[in-house]
Amino acid sequence: MPYLALLEGLLRSVSGAQAALLLDAQGEVVVQTGGRDYRARLIGAYQGIALATARRTAERYLGGEVQCLLCRYSQASVILQSLRDGYYLVLALDPTANAGLGLQGAARWGTRLAAEL
């Protein structure tokens, strides 16, 4: 599956990345790498709710398309990258990771993932 290879490439390219997931519009995991426990799946689905809310809000107020979100917490950061047809990429980072580099990696690898969808 090309998705797995792309997610693994993303994980290797971003220092401090813990997990990378591709999810569909309903928040179901299509494929994941890195954190293989249920927490990564729950985080992905939960963060998908935040992304959907941001998309609806932007649409309601004519704010344009939401391309990505960065959520920072004391123990981790989570990056959500919109792809196409409701699919999205989730990149979980440890607290010491450079979020800017994570955003760049998610954008670059997200473009590749979107081309495969």
pLDDT tens digits for range 62-104: 988 899 999 998 888 999 999 999 899 999 999 999 999 999 9
For the domain made up of 2-116, the CATH class stated in words is alpha beta
The bridge status of strand 29-34 relative to strand 77-82 is unpaired
What is the Cα–Cα distance from 80 to 88, expressed in whole angstroms? 7
pLDDT-derived band at 38 (thresholds 50, 70, 90) equals: confident
For residue 107, with 0-12 CB atoms within 10 Å meaning exposed, 13-18 middle and 19 or more buried, which class applies? middle
The domain ranges of the chain are 2-116
What is the predicted pLDDT for the residue at 10?
A: 96
Higher pLDDT, 36 or 57: 57
